[in-house]
Structure 1
Amino acid sequence: MAKETYTFAYGRGTKTFEYEADDILKVVRTENLPVLEDVRGAVLDAIRHPIGTKPLEGIIRPGDTVAFICNDPTRVANSEIFMPILVEEMNRLGVPDENMRIVFALGTHRAMTPEEMASEVGEDVARRIRHYNSISTVDEDFVYFGTTSRGTPVRINKHLCDVDHVILTGTIVHHYFSGYGGGRKAILPGCAAMETVRKNHSFMLEPSAGLGITIGNPCYEDQMEGVSLFARGRSLFLFNAILNAKHEFLSIFAGDWRLAHNEACRFVDRAYGCVIPKEADLVIASCGGYPKDINVYQMQKTMDNAACAVREGGVVVLLADCEEGSGSAKLEETFRRLVTPEAIRKELEENFQIGANKAYAVSRPQSKARFILVTRLDRELAKSMLFTAAVDTVEEALAIAKTYVGDRPSVILMPEGSLTVPRVG
């Protein structure tokens, strides 16, 4: 049998392995769409011809104050490319540097270092524009805007509350329980208080909360309602990019934070969706490298995508470096204390906690298939998280996998696993 060589992203490097070409059902990749050759021109065109609202030059007045929301390092946004362009445009419209600020949408993630902030938006922008971490547990940093119909108290970072305009930046991918990233998520959960995030994310336990779902999705609808409470009487403007697996720009959507996001989501379905002939015995997937596999917290999103491609009782070999370990002490504690997926869900239903919810998210796809990690994650920690095995090489993982699915399993490869969402056609 002829073997082919494959190289998958892994952490800050790659892993290379061979596999029998005849057994490969499909290599699942993002749609081969043309990249934007003139990114600067595309950025300016998007904000000057926005969706559903006036262009920025019809909204911004000289001397206005502006807050940008930017991603933290767990998401690839290319902010260092577009932020200098946006800041320059603000200057052109009469907004001086001292009237601008950047708020990093951490959600419930750790605080960013000054070096990470500068890396995210570019050294020049970081030097010129004040910037802040939105740390969800610092209660005094949040302002109350009311409670949603589902009971979520909406508390948003104070640095977004005393400016004339808020510009939501970032990228959009599918999200395993909120439907899609981007859009309103820059604010909720990105710049929301811990209790706001906790209550909103508790709706992930409902069956209608899922990947690529907006209508009827309680998490998505609650986020939209929460941001609407904040947005009353405020100027919000969306700037979201869609990237390919090489982190190149495919498209940019700007304008009304609801309408532009809806249009962008349709593009995401086209770019990241992929038809497969059937669910495979074995899926070999990469998160796509750093930062998609920076820790278990981020890696989990690829688990959900890979679960779409594997048959019930099959095996997923997942390449995930996890240089920062689990990413959550609460995640680790929950697994060690409760042990089973059933116990984790039961406790969440009674007392939903951030971190513990990720334990549920990690265990959920494991109810369909076995997951074998190629990782540097601590072996005992991986075992406590119910992974079938954690090894150093793809070859070791495949040897273990074949004890469950035989020597000639049908195989689907997912080199861009954090992005691609397979579906049986």
Structure 2
Amino acid sequence: MSSVVAIPWGDEPPLELRLPDGWPDPDVIQPMLDGAIADYRAALTTALDAPLGGIDPIEEQVGPRSTVAIVVDDPSRWTPVREALPIVLERLRARGVSQKDISISVGVGRHHAVDAEAMTRRVGDEVAASYSCFSPPVDDLSQYEDLGTTDDGIPVRVFRPVAQADLRILIGSVLPHLQAGFGGGYKLIFPGTSHRSTLGAIHRVGLGGDAGALLGSTAEANPMRRAIRGAASRLGPCVSLSHVLGPPGQVFQVASGHPDAVQDHLAAEVARRYRAPDAEPADVVIAGNAPWPGDPMQSFKVLLNHRSACRSGGALVGFFWTNPAEIDRSFPMPAMRAIAATGAPGGLVMRRGLAMADRLVAASGSAASFMVRWARELVVDRDVLVYAPPLRDRIGPRLGPIRLYSDPAELRNRLEILARSAGTPSPRVRIFPSGGLTYCPARSAADTKEGVHSQGKNRR
């Protein structure tokens, strides 16, 4: 008999994943999803009334002539921005802050610019119609304020409405992040509303070594987070309003206060809920992209967040629910088709090229080393298979070395072939059905036994 595991599948019924016959029961890693907030408005009000980090509540930091820049995370996150904004704006208006003195910027960083339609969906019809809303142009230096250079040599260039405000309010969420340990907090500005020269310099900090070692690391141990905090010291007052998220519509914690205090507090809760138990690397790792909102390129972060769970030479399998409207949100379709057109020969060249490039950039200290390293770890050290029917239908069966599938049976057959060729006909399998929440840092990280539930007979 074969094992069957339910994979959350967007707004559709769960996808039933059936493993090849004869394979042992997998280790199924689920996030802790207990204790969701029942009354978000009440929870947010409590958080705003009692900020962390020894700072005053928002309304005690502003007055009738204050300027306020609100920065929200971009649509690739499922933060309850539409629900939080009216509550925050109500407090600002009660203190006499003028509507014209409030701006709202989306912290897009290197992500896709947010157009008018997407902005309205993000902030709500009334807010979009009443307030100045921006998607910062990452390459237009004339739109940025130069705040000098940090002691680490990072140029601090921030989108002018954010840099010049008397107070900045950051509305986002804390999730595992490949470079910063955890996203959220000041990261909404650095790199969210920073010029490309600033965001590039921040991403170059702390590169090299095992690209997975920074995932889930504390702020004190994380060079990118330290660089972000150094850049933030050039700004005036900031208040973070941040969340621990579950699937869309679920919030487990909300906190306000000094960005560093909020970040540290919520990162600990994310680690408790979502960090995978330590285990020997498996032969096959399967991760669903839930609850990421259907962008296949963003969904590759799911595989990156779990690659340490898979041994070198093993197979990484992604089940990517894909919203056809979001299919090229992060990566242009012509570029994807150009890569796909190279077929199997192109995939082989890319694998060999990445292996060589990794050695070269590691020796040179190039700024590209992080991106090259995780790309190598994905497609050189492991076989990568992705079930994403809309993407496969648009570009064909390959994206460079990555095989794409729209037929679960075909994918299952390929897994059997890979297992036999690797001499593991009964492979150890770990499955992360909600891989957009869970994460598996490099095994050098401190062992944590709490935070996620492991189901199955072959735990290691």
**Same fold? TM cut 0.5:** yes
Please list, as runs of the form range in 1=range in 2, the aligned pairs for 1:326-405 lying within 5 A after superposition: 327-328=330-331, 339=350, 340-345=353-358, 346=360, 349=364, 352=367, 358=371, 360-375=373-388, 376-377=390-391, 383=398, 385-387=400-402, 389-405=403-419
Output the CA distance in 2 between the equivalents of 1:399 and 1:129: 54
Where structure 1 has 5 or more consecutive residues not aligned to the other structure, the ranges are none
CA contact (8 A) 1:321 1:377 kept: no
Q: Give the secondary structure class of the aligned counterpart of 2:276.
A: strand
Where structure 2 has 5 or more consecutive residues not aligned to the other structure, the ranges are 444-448, 450-460
Cα distance, 1:13 vs. partner?
A: 7.4
- What is aligned with 1:8? 8
CA contact (8 A) 1:11 1:321 kept: no
- What is aligned with 1:227? 232
Cα distance, 1:381 vs. partner?
A: 8.1
The TM-score normalised by the length of structure 2 is 0.82
- What is aligned with 1:414? 432
Output the CA distance in 1 between the equivalents of 2:292 and 2:222: 29
Q: Give the secondary structure class of the aligned counterpart of 1:197.
A: helix
CA contact (8 A) 2:47 2:256 kept: yes
Cα distance, 1:168 vs. partner?
A: 0.9
Output the CA distance in 1 between the equivalents of 2:198 and 2:130: 31
Percent identity at matched positions? 22
Cα distance, 1:267 vs. partner?
A: 1.0
Please list, as runs of the form range in 1=range in 2, the aligned pairs for 1:16-55 lying within 5 A after superposition: 16-19=16-19, 23-52=24-53, 53-55=55-57
CA contact (8 A) 1:101 1:129 kept: yes
Q: Deviations over 1:210-250 (max 9, x none)?
A: 10123343222111111112x2xx12111111111344110
- What is aligned with 1:279? 281
Cα distance, 1:171 vs. partner?
A: 0.6
Output the CA distance in 1 between the equivalents of 2:248 and 2:66: 36
Q: Give the secondary structure class of the aligned counterpart of 2:440.
A: strand
Q: Deviations over 1:159-191 (max 9, x none)?
A: 112222100110111111111100110110000
- What is aligned with 1:313? 313
- Counterpart residue identity of residue 103, structure 1: S
- Counterpart residue identity of residue 408, structure 1: S
CA contact (8 A) 2:214 2:222 kept: yes
Output the CA distance in 2 between the equivalents of 1:133 and 1:210: 28
Cα distance, 1:126 vs. partner?
A: 1.5
Q: Deviations over 1:89-147 (max 9, x none)?
A: 22223223222110111101221111111111111221222101112111111111111
- What is aligned with 2:302? 302
- What is aligned with 2:131? 129
CA contact (8 A) 1:10 1:321 kept: yes
CA contact (8 A) 1:71 1:77 kept: yes
The TM-score normalised by the length of structure 1 is 0.88
Residue 184 to residue 402, structure 1, CA distance change in 2 (3 Å): same
- What is aligned with 1:178? 180
Cα distance, 1:328 vs. partner?
A: 3.5
- Counterpart residue identity of residue 418, structure 1: G
Output the CA distance in 1 between the equivalents of 2:62 and 2:121: 27
- What is aligned with 2:457? none
- Counterpart residue identity of residue 412, structure 1: R
- What is aligned with 2:156? 154
Output the CA distance in 2 between the equivalents of 1:413 and 1:261: 29
Output the CA distance in 1 between the equivalents of 2:281 and 2:62: 51
Residue 13 to residue 5, structure 1, CA distance change in 2 (3 Å): closer
